[in-house]
Every structure is written in C-alpha cells, then in structure tokens.
Amino acid sequence: MNGSLTHDLTQDLTHGLALLWPHLHDISVSALAAAVATLGVVIMLELRSVLKLRQVVDGNLARVFEQLDLLRFENQQLIEGQQLLIEARTQSGTALPALRAAPAQPASAQPGPPTAAPSATTTTTTVHSGEVRLLSSLAQARARRALSEPVRA
C-alpha cells in the first residue's frame, strides 16, 4: 500500500508539473525578453551619453586650440617687436634707452609690421574672463621681461 501511495503522489506531481511547465516556460521567456529590452535601452542611453561626451570634448579642444593660436600670435608679435628693437638699436645706440624709459605696454600693443593681423585683445573678447586674465598676465610679464633684459645683438 505504501508503494501505491508513492506511485500515486509521483503521478500527481508529474501531472501537476506537466500542467505548470508551459506557464513557467512562458514566464521565463517573458523575463528573458524584458531583460533583453532593458539591456537595449541601457546600451542606447550609453551611446547617447558617449556622443554627448564627444561633443563636449570637441568643444573644449576647440577652445584649447583657439587659446594656442592666440598665444602663438602673441609670441609672433613679441618676436617681431624684439626684432624691431634690435634693428633700432643697431641703427642708433640711443633708441634702446629711450624705449626702456617708456611705460610698459602689453605685448599686443608692441610695434609690428603694418600688415599685422588684428591684435589679441580684439580676439579675446569671445574668451572667458579667466582666460583673458591669464593672457593679460602673460602679456604683462613678457613686456616687463622684454624691457628689463638687455637686447642681445
């Protein structure tokens, strides 16, 4: 009798699982589909985030290269100004002391050829104030250094 009861319970359990299996399978397939859909949404959000990051980096790189162009232009103006000072000194020995007595001017106001590009101060109006202060302090330091150093022949 005990064997028959076990056999009946096993059959009932097997029959119950057979009825339940299609529903469990449908639930697991639905859960898998939901997980794949969620993963797709996460990947799309990450892709959007990467594209925005790229735009921000491109904008910052553009600003960095703009600043490098401004510094290169200012450096060219300083070199041209120093060349003019050297030429003036070689032509007359008194030109250099007169220039040293003159008040310090920012580097963008130093003399240059008549075909020089627009001054750095007009270009920096589109730049943030911190960058303007940096450029201004660099120009002042260069002007002080140019006026205090003896001109090398």
Mapping DSSP onto H, E and C, the string for 55-116 reads HHHHHHHHHHHHHHHHHHHHHHHHHHHHHHHHHHHHHCCCHHHHHHHCCCCCHHHCCCCCCC
Q: What per-residue confidence (pLDDT) applies to 29?
A: 93
Q: What per-residue confidence (pLDDT) applies to 101?
A: 46
pLDDT in tens, 76-97: 999 988 888 888 888 876 544 5
Angle at 129 between CA 57 and CA 71, to 5 degrees: 70
Q: What per-residue confidence (pLDDT) applies to 52?
A: 97
Residue 47, sorted as left (phi over 0), alpha (psi -120 to 50) or beta, turns out to be alpha
Q: What per-residue confidence (pLDDT) applies to 117?
A: 47
Q: Which residues of the chain have pLDDT under 50?
A: 95-96, 98-125, 153
What angle, 0 to 180 degrees and rounded to 10, lies between the N-to-C axes of helices 129-148 and 2-91? 40
CB 141 within 8 A of CB 105: no
Q: What per-residue confidence (pLDDT) applies to 47?
A: 97
